[in-house]
A and B are shown apart, each in its own frame.
Chain A
Amino acid sequence: MEHNATTLSTHEHYDPVGAKLGMWLFIFTEMLLFGALFIVYSVYRYRHPVEFHLANQELNVTIGFINTVILLISSATVAMSITAMQKGNKKLTMIFLLITLLLAVVFLINKYFEWGAKIHHGIYPGSEFLLSLSHGDILFFGLYFFMTGLHAIHIIVGMVILIWVFVRVKQGRVNINRYALLENGGLYWHLVDLIWIFLFPLFYLIH
C-alpha cells in the first residue's frame, strides 16, 4: 500500500522533524500508560508497606540487575546504529541493530526463567497459594506480573519495529539522507529501556 488511490499524485511528503515529533508524542502516551500503573503501585504500597517490603525481597535481584545491564547496553547499541547511519556505514548500522535484537532476546530469556521460577513456586495471578497470602502480597505479585509483563510486550513490539527498520535499512529505503525511521525505532527502544529503569528499583531494590 505504498501509494494508493488518492495520494497517487501527491509528492511523497518527507518531514523528519514531524516524524520525530509524532514519535515523541507517542512515547509520551506510553509514559502515561505506565504512569497510571505507577500510581496504582504507589497507592497499594502506601497501604501495605510491610507486605510490599517483604515481597520485594522475594524477587531475584541478580537477574533483575543483569537484565538492567542488558537493556542499558542495548540502548547504547541502538544509538550506535544511528551514528553509524549518519556516517553512511550501512553495514555497521545493520550489525548494531542485530546486536540490539540479540540483547532483547537474552532479556526475554532471562525473564522467562525468572517468571518460570515464580510460577514453579506457585506464585502467579489467581494461584491458590498466592490467594492464601496477605492482601499486600496478592497486590504486589499482581502488579509485578502485570507491569513486567506489559513491559515484556513492549520489548516484543520494540523488536518488531527494529526488525522492520532493519529490513528497510537493508533495502536502502532508510539511508543516510532519510533515516527518521531508524531514529524513531531507536527512540522507541530507549523508551522501553527507560520504563525498565523505573520498574527495576520499584520491584527489586526498594527495601
Chain B
Amino acid sequence: MSGTTTTQRMPSYLEYKGRFKGLAGWLLSTDHKRIALLYLYSQITFFLAGVVMGIFMKIELMAPGQQIMGPATYNALFTVHGLTMIFLFIIPGLAASFGNFFLPIMIGAKDVAFPKLNLFSWYLFMGGAIIVLIGIFTGDGPPDTGWTFYAPYSLKTNTNVVLTVFGAFVLGFSSVLTGLNFIVTIHQMRAPGMGFFRMPLFIWAMYGTSWIQLLATPVVGITFIMVIFDRVMGIGFFDPAKGGDPILFQHLFWIYSHPAVYIMILPAMGAITEIITTFSNRVVFGYKAIAMSSLAIAFVGYLVWGHHMFTSGMSDTARLVFSLLTFLVAIPSAIKVFNWSATMYKGSIDLQPPFWWAMAFLFVFMIGGLTGLVLGSVATDVHVHDTMFVVAHFHYIVFGGAGLAFFAALHYWFPKMWGKMYNKKVANIGLLILFIGFNTLYFPMFILGIMGMPRRYYDYLPEFATPNLISTVGSWILALGLIIVIVNLLRAKKAPPEIIDNPWNGRTLEWKIQSPPTLENFEEIPVIDHGPYDLIKE
C-alpha cells in the first residue's frame, strides 16, 4: 500500500458533483477520466456489436452452401463488421480510453492540455459513429465494399458508400485531435522532475501513437473525401474510365492504414509493458530500447504500406523494397517481445489475472507476428494473398494483440478506475475459455488459407468443410469466455467500494493516488526524482 495517502479520502471523480447533475455531468464533463469512461463504454458497445456480426458470419460459414444468409448480406456483414471493429473499436483503442484516463495521471498532471478539445473529440467520435450507422441503415443498404473501400468498386456499387466514408472521415478527425492533445500534454504537462526518460513506457507508446495519428490520418481523410466527390460529382480521381487510377487509391489508403495498425498496437504494447513490469516486480529490462522501439515503429511503419499491394501491380523493385522494409519493421516489435521476456526472467512473478492476460497476448501476438512474415515476403504472399490466411493473421494481431491487450489493461486498471476488485478466479476461467475459443476460431483459418480458401465469400468448396466447422465452434467458445469476462467485471462494478489504492504493488504514479482518483488526480503535483520503475522501499 502506498501508506500515507489512504488516511484522508476525498470524493472521487465518480462522486464529484459539479454544475451539471446526472447524465449531463458526464456528457458535458471535461474531466479526462470521465471522457475516458465515455470512450470506454462506447467502444465496448461497438466491439460487442462487431462480435455479434462476426458470429453470424461464422454461422454462415459453418458448412458449405447457404446457411442463414445470401452473398449480398454476407458482403454487407463483413464490411460493417470490419468498419465497426476497426474504426469504432480498435483505432480509438487503448489510446482513447486508457490513454485518456492514465496519460495525465502517469505524468503527474491534473488533466490533458486541452480538456474542452478532448470532450469535443469524443463528440466527433460519436458523430462519426452515428453517421456510419445512418449510412448502414438508410439509402440503398449498407456498403458491401469491405472496410477498405477499394476503387473502382466503391465508386460503382449502389450501396450507401458516401455516408459511411464520410463517417470514417469524421472519425479520423477525432483521432487527429486526440493525438494532438496528447502530444501537447506530454510536452507541456509533465510533473517537475519527470524528464522524457522518466516517463512510464505506456506514455512513450502513447507518444508514438499520437504522432502516427497526426501524420497518417490526414492522408486517408482526404482520400475518403475524394471518393465522395468521385461518387457525387463524378470527378474521376480513381475511375479508370475517366483516366483515374484505382491503384493510386490503394496507395493512399494503405499509407494511412498500415500505420493505423500501429495506432492500434502501440498503446497495447505500452500497457503490456506496464503489466509485465508490475507483476514481475522488477525494473523493466531495456527501458530505452523499448521507448525508442516505439518511435522506430512509428516512423518505419510509414514506409511499408506496399506490402498490402504485392499482387496489385507494382514493379518488382518496389515489391522487393517494400518487402525488405516490412522485415525491418518487425525488428522493433521483436525488441519489445525480447525485453518483456528478459523483464520476467528471474523476476518474482505475481500470477494475477492481468498478468495472465498479458501472457495470452504474448502468445497470440507472436503467432500473429510470425505469420506476418509469411505475408511480408513477396513469394509466399502471392500464394496466400486474399485467402483466409490473411484473415487469421490480422485477427491474431488486431484481436489477439490489441484486443486482448485492451482487456488486459481493463483488468489491470479496473481497481484504479472504480476502486473495486473483480473475482479473480472467474476472471481467470473466463480468460482461459476465451483463449481456447480464440485459437480454435482462428487457427484453422491459417490452414484454410494455405489450402486456398479465399476470403470474403459466403460459400466454399466441400473440402474446406472440417476446419470451417471447427472454427465456427471456436467462435461460440470465444463468445462464452467473453460473456464470463464481461459479466464478472459488471458484477464487480456493482459491488460496494473497497480501499484498494495499490492492489498490484504498482510503481508508476497512478498507484500512488487514491482509487478511484479524485477530480484533480493529485492534490499536490508530485515532484519526480527517480525512474518510473525503480524499486523503492516506502
Q: Which residues of A contact B (CB under 8 A)?
A: 1, 3-10, 13, 15, 17-18, 21-22, 25-26, 28-30, 32-37, 39-40, 43-44, 47-48, 125-126, 131, 134-136, 138-139, 142-143, 145-146
Contacts and interface: CB of A to CB of B under 8 A. Distances in A.
B180 A6 contact: no
Nearest to A51: B243
Contacts of A145: 235
A6 B37 CA distance: 14
Contact of B20 (A4, A15, A17, A28): A4
Contact of B237 (A7, A28, A131, A142): A142
A33 B244 contact: no
Nearest to B109: A13
Contacts of B116: 1
A139 B243 contact: yes
A26 to B, nearest CB: 6
**The 4 nearest A-B residue pairs measured at CB:** A135-B243, A5-B18, A126-B234, A6-B31
A37 B242 contact: no
Contact of A125 (B16, B114, B235, B252): B235
B30 A7 contact: yes
Contacts of A28: 214-215
Interface stretch (B133-141, B220-228, B270-278, B318-326): B220-228
Interface in B240-290: 242-245, 248, 252, 255
Contacts of A22: 113-114, 117, 180-181, 184
A47 B187 CA distance: 44
Contacts of A15: 113, 188
A125 B233 contact: yes
B36 interface: no
Given A17-B188, A18-B187, A134-B243, 8 more contacts: A4-B19, A6-B29, A7-B111, A15-B188, A29-B176, A29-B217, A126-B235, A139-B237
B19 A8 contact: yes
B188 A40 contact: no
Contacts of B19: 3-5, 8
Contacts of A26: 176, 180
17 contacts: A5-B31, A6-B18, A6-B25, A6-B29, A15-B113, A18-B189, A29-B180, A33-B222, A40-B226, A40-B237, A40-B252, A135-B243, A139-B242, A139-B243, A142-B235, A142-B242, A145-B235
Interface in B21-39: 24-25, 28-31, 34
Interface in B1-49: 13, 16-20, 24-25, 28-31, 34
Interface of B: 13, 16-20, 24-25, 28-31, 34, 110-111, 113-117, 176, 180-181, 183-184, 187-189, 214-215, 217-219, 221-223, 226, 229, 233-237, 242-245, 248, 252, 255, 519-520
B243 A136 contact: yes
A4 B29 contact: yes
A146 B226 contact: yes
Nearest to A18: B188
A66 B356 CA distance: 67
A59 to B, nearest CB: 17
Could you say which of B25, B217, B242 has the most chain A C-beta atoms within 10 Å of its C-beta? B242
Given A36-B219, A138-B242, A6 B233 contact: no
Contacts of B189: 18
Contacts, number: 136
Contacts of A5: 16-20, 24-25, 28-29, 31
Given A6-B25, A138-B243, A33 B218 contact: yes
A17 B300 CA distance: 29
Nearest to A5: B18
B28 A4 contact: yes
A125 B229 CA distance: 9
A138 to B, nearest CB: 5
Contacts of A43: 245, 248
B152 to A, nearest CB: 14
Could you say which of A3, A6, A145 has the most chain B C-beta atoms within 10 Å of its C-beta? A6
Contacts of A37: 222
A46 B147 CA distance: 30
B34 A6 contact: yes
Contacts of B245: 43-44, 47
B236 A138 contact: yes
Contact of B31 (A7, A40, A143, A146): A7
A3 B20 CA distance: 10
Could you say which of A1, A5, A34, A136 has the most chain B C-beta atoms within 10 Å of its C-beta? A5
A6 B235 contact: no
Contacts of A135: 242-243
Could you say which of A26, A48, A138 has the most chain B C-beta atoms within 10 Å of its C-beta? A138
Contacts of A40: 226, 237, 248, 252
Nearest to B252: A36
A37 to B, nearest CB: 6
A193 to B, nearest CB: 19
A183 B31 CA distance: 27
Could you say which of B24, B183, B184, B234 has the most chain A C-beta atoms within 10 Å of its C-beta? B184
A8 B31 CA distance: 10
Given A6-B18, A6-B25, A15-B113, A139 B244 contact: yes
Contacts of A35: 218-219
B513 to A, nearest CB: 16
B22 to A, nearest CB: 10
Contacts of B248: 40, 43
Contact of B110 (A10, A29, A131): A10
Contact of A25 (B29, B115, B214, B217): B214
A138 B245 CA distance: 13
B196 to A, nearest CB: 15
A131 B229 CA distance: 15
Nearest to A124: B233
Nearest to B240: A135
Given A6-B30, A6-B31, A146 B218 contact: no
Contacts of B181: 22
Contact of A21 (B24, B34, B117, B187): B187
